[in-house]
Structure 1
Amino acid sequence: MSGPQGSSEGGPSRAVLVGVDFGTGHSFDPTLDELALLASSAGDETVARVIARRSAPDAALFIGSGKADEVKALVVLHGADGVLFDQALSPAQQRNLERHLGVPVADRTALILEIFARRAKSHEGKLQVELARLQYLSTRLVRRWSHLERQRGGVGHRGGPGEAQIELDRRMLGERIKTLRARLEKVKRQRGTQRRARERSGSFRVSLVGYTNAGKSTLFNALVKAQAYAADQLFATLDTTTRSMYLEALGTSVSLSDTVGFIRDLPHKLVEAFEATLQEAAEADLLLHVVDASSPVLQEQRDEVERVLQEIGAGDVPQVLVYNKIDRLDPLPRQAHDWIERSPGHWVPRVFVGALHGQGLDVLRGLIARAASPEGLNPPLSAPSPDLTPESSLGSALPFPP
């Protein structure tokens, strides 16, 4: 957790989770399951969950004093080391909550940034995460230097050592951010050179995108027989990996890239910092949009990925929807492939796979080969029957091949 130093026994930090429902128009997870997974990914143990309902955030304590007292009682009852909020907090709200609750407080943004910092392995990934964290930290300097706020000059003088320290720290952060941006711009140019080299070679570029923990890395490994790290956790991999994939139907190879996963309310600064990596998706010839078919909120996850793809300029790249983890469904989908309406009048192919056990991969390879051929992925002449496309049924006509 961003703040707690671990439990008193030296084990994982014990965290109370808090989510606030602000009504329609605001994303909200009533189970807080995703926040719990994020906490687990950061090494925290969830000991209690609190749901609040408000029409608007409280300016001082975000959840109001009454709910804050309820959270404080749970902190004491469970011996919690900190509190995690599912929404973003302002610096003042975070500072006030820490004073009121008596334990460190972190919001969703800080938690995601902490996980990214732990998972980044490549030089580029580390630069991107450091930039995002420093940009986040720069808004919270007043909290970090609150121990100096009472140090003032003499009568008639404003400011003092505390204010000077804040300005010094802000200037140092600004210089470091400027340096990181310059280094990432160099990385971006290098990636551009590599992409142009692949374009000159005529290589068809395929990128895996999708919500975090949808199984992208497992699918990547299955398609190219790679050994990229894959685990059943959020943000298991952050660094883009590119491999060559041979397609027997075409008698040639295509380039396949595995990219960082998306998540609801992904901090904008993180998207901005990962621009060089996400450019792989924006400049691909085909996106394999991997969806966890077993997720109870798969439509919301699909929509969030589509939103980020639009944000990074990849909204118009041709797609194949890959519904993964079908081995977790009962019954199995009764067809291997159909078409689904991505937007009004715009149909895209959908294929059902179980990457872990190799189910449906031949069908997926066939679709990739069709996309890379001169004919491309042409939708059916007439719109598919509506009864083949509902998310609830996951298709209905043909038997799924063994």
Structure 2
Amino acid sequence: MAIFNRDSEDEVARGARAIVVHAETHGADRRDSDARLEEARGLALAIGIDVRAAQSFRVRDRKPATLFGSGQVEQIATLARQDDAELIIVDNNLSPVQQSNLEKACEAKVIDRTGLILEIFGERAATNEGRLQVELAHLDYQAGRLVRSWTHLERQRGGFGFLGGPGETQIEADRRMIRDRMAKIRRELDQVTRTRGLHRARRQRAPWPVIALVGYTNAGKSTLFNRMTGADVMAEDLLFATLDPTMRQIALPGLDKAILSDTVGFVSDLPTQLIAAFRATLEEVLAADIIIHVRDIAHPDSEAQRDDVLDVLGELGVAGEGALARDGEASEPVPMIEAWNKLDLLDAEGREHARELAARRDDVVILSALTGEGVPDLQRAVSARLTAGATTHRLEIPLSDGAAVAWLHEHGEVLGSHMEDDHMIVDARLSASALARFKKRQGEGDPTASDA
């Protein structure tokens, strides 16, 4: 992938020896420091980094120069030397100055949480769209860090003519190169967005309901996707195993066809560059008729992860106040069902507690995507939500069209029927989309539909 790099030695190599450190600020995080460190370790392992040690530091006041206090910086440097670490991963977002100062003090390469996530996305993006989105995010991130590690930036290019002056500095030239490349990528992504929009509009005209899987990274979305579709999407115990959206056709009780979409996993402190770059992909969620929020109910920070996902959905205009409809107007949020996954990892007491909590809500289904337990319950719950607006219609069907009656039994609820002359009168409860599909199926022989 053509990522703009500062220097060859500035890249993060697989197998690099590293330590992970986290600055813990009182009241600034919704999860405990051990969970944060474990997640950061998982992020590093996701791209093959050899994590030698991980430690959290309580920071009373964030230092503008180094984030950590001077004594803590010395401890980090000592820890890096003891473990022969060539890389220090700071599980916080650093300013360019903080990153540079920490590198000088510790005599090792330093990357922050945003840089680490960008490295993962850069390695995992499989489609051209995904690679473009990652490169755009990476360039946006690097543009603010040109002052760091650029030993050649003091040079200036000569001006033109006798009185041309000092000319363009190297840093200005590099910034211009980044701006030009970003503009080119945005044009290409605009085309991707238009194409995706056309596909989305075509699906809406079908009209088949769209179901979007969202959730914290490693919550089990791809495993559930495979379970519901019979597909073989990459599903591993690995953070950010899925980056590019995948769609498959599925059948649900009362619905012959629906589109299930697997999306990129969310994470706490998701870099703003990535939210912006992946907006075209995440807008698949905005176009959904219903969202399945997959949660790892066995994770100790399941509630905090839930809040992180809802925060990102809120930024996209999908959930919470100010939710957007497909036409961009304010509307009710997209309906959402929580799938409490990884039931198989809970002991008997944990299972009972989870069931008690779920019983108090009508938007929760407990399941194990790995074993399949509870998945039929989820399918019925999604179908019930999608057909909740169904109304009863009286339909006239030719006596010779027995297949139409069978279709109504399969895709709706037939309440009654009787014969009149050369046709059958059927009272059926159908969703708006099912009624539209039935009329389309009948073609020129459209039945007459009216409220029964």
The partner residue of 1:63 within 65, 68, 81 is 68
**Quick one: distance in 1 between partners of 2:70 and 2:11?**
23
In 2, Cα distance between equivalents of 1:27 and 1:142: 33
Is residue 246–residue 254 contact of structure 1 (8 Å, CA) maintained in 2?
yes
RMSD: 2.4
Which deviates more, 34-43 or 137-146?
137-146
Structure 1 match to 2:267: 263
Deviation at 1:333, TM superposition (A): 2.7
2-side partners of 1:305 and 1:19: how far apart?
Answer: 22
| Range moving further from structure 2, 171-180 or 52-61 | 52-61
Instruction: Give 1:226's aligned residue.
Output: 231
Identity of aligned residues (%): 42
SS at match of 2:75: helix
Aligned to 1:302: 306
The one-letter amino acid paired with 1:212 is T
> How far is the alpha carbon of 1:374 from its aligned partner?
4.0
User: Does residue 190 of structure 1 match 2:161?
Assistant: no
> CA-to-partner distance for each residue in 1:278-329, whole Å, 9 max, x for gaps?
0011111100000001100000000000111111011011011000010000
Equivalent residue, structure 2, for 1:318: 335
Indicate which of 367, 371, 381 corresponds to 2:385. 371
Taking a change above 3 Å as real, the CA distance of residues 337 and 215 of structure 1, as seen in their structure-2 partners, is farther
Are the structure 2 counterparts of residues 196 and 177 from structure 1 closer, same or farther at C-alpha, using a change threshold of 3 Å?
same
Distance (whole Å) between structure 1 residues aligned to residue 356 and residue 191 of structure 2: 42
- TM normalised by structure 1 equals 0.85
Displacement after TM superposition at 1:58 (Å): 1.1
- 2:19 paired residue number: 16
CA distance in 2, matches of 1:56, 1:336: 42
Distance 2:248 2:187 in 1: 28
Secondary structure of 1:278's match?
Answer: helix
Contact 1:91–1:139 under 8 Å retained in 2 = yes
CA shift for structure 1 position 339: 5.4
Q: Which residue of 2 aligns with 1:349?
A: 363
Q: Is the 8 A contact 2:20 2:90 kept in 1?
A: yes
Whether 1:236 aligns to 2:254 is: no
CA contact (8 A) 1:19 1:29 kept: no
Per-residue deviation, 1:146: 3.2
SS in structure 1 at match of 2:257: strand
For residue 343 of structure 2, what is the amino acid of its counterpart?
Answer: I
- 1:54 & 1:138 partners in 2: Cα distance? 28
Q: Pick from 323, 331, 346: which aligns with 1:329?
A: 346
Cα distance between partner residues in 1 of 2:107 and 2:359:
51
Q: Which runs of 5+ in 1 are unaligned?
A: 154-158, 342-346, 377-402
Any conservation in 1 of the 2:154–2:170 contact (CA below 8 Å)?
A: no
Shift of 1:349: 1.2
**SS across alignment from 1:276:** helix
Equivalent pair of 2:210/2:258 in contact (CA under 8 Å): yes
8 Å CA contact 1:15, 1:45 repeated in 2? yes
Query: Match of 2:242, SS?
Result: coil
Deviation at 1:47, TM superposition (A): 1.2
Structure number with larger C-alpha Rg: 2
* CA–CA separation in structure 1 for the residues paired with 2:166 and 2:359: 63
Partner AA of 2:215 in structure 1: G
Counterparts in 2 of 1:160-239, with a 5 A limit?
Answer: 164-239=169-244
Equivalence for 1:289:
293
| 1:317 maps to amino acid | V
In the alignment, which of 41, 45, 52 is matched to residue 36 of structure 1?
A: 41
Quote the Cα distance in structure 2 between the aligned partners of 1:180 and 1:234. Answer: 26
- The alignment of Structure 1 onto Structure 2 pairs a total of residues equal to 361
Residues 132 and 270 of structure 1 are in contact (CA less than 8 Å); yes or no, is this contact kept in structure 2?
A: yes
Structure 1 ranges of 4+ moved more than 3 A: 2-6, 25-29, 146-153, 334-341
C-alpha deviation, 1:206, in angstroms = 0.3
**Separation in structure 2 between the aligned mates of residue 29 and residue 97 of structure 1, nearest angstrom:** 24
Alpha-carbon distance, 1:65 to partner:
1.8
Shift of 1:27: 5.0
Q: Which runs of 5+ in 2 are unaligned?
A: 1-8, 159-164, 320-332, 391-452
Amino acid at match of 1:13: A
Give me the whole-angstrom Cα distance separating, in 2, the residues matched to 1:363 and 1:337.
16
Hey, what does 1:53 align to over in structure 2? 58
Equivalent residue letter for 1:257: S
Whether contact under 8 Å (1:20, 1:28) holds in the other structure is no
Greater Cα shift, 140-149 or 44-53? 140-149
Q: Which whole-Å deviations, capped at 9, do the CAs of 1:149-200 have from their partners, x for residues lacking one?
A: 38799xxxxx968x71100010010011011111111111111111110111
Please give the alpha-carbon distance, in whole angstroms, between the structure 2 residues aligned to 1:28 and 1:168: 43
Q: d(CA) in 2 for partners of 1:127 and 1:257?
A: 21
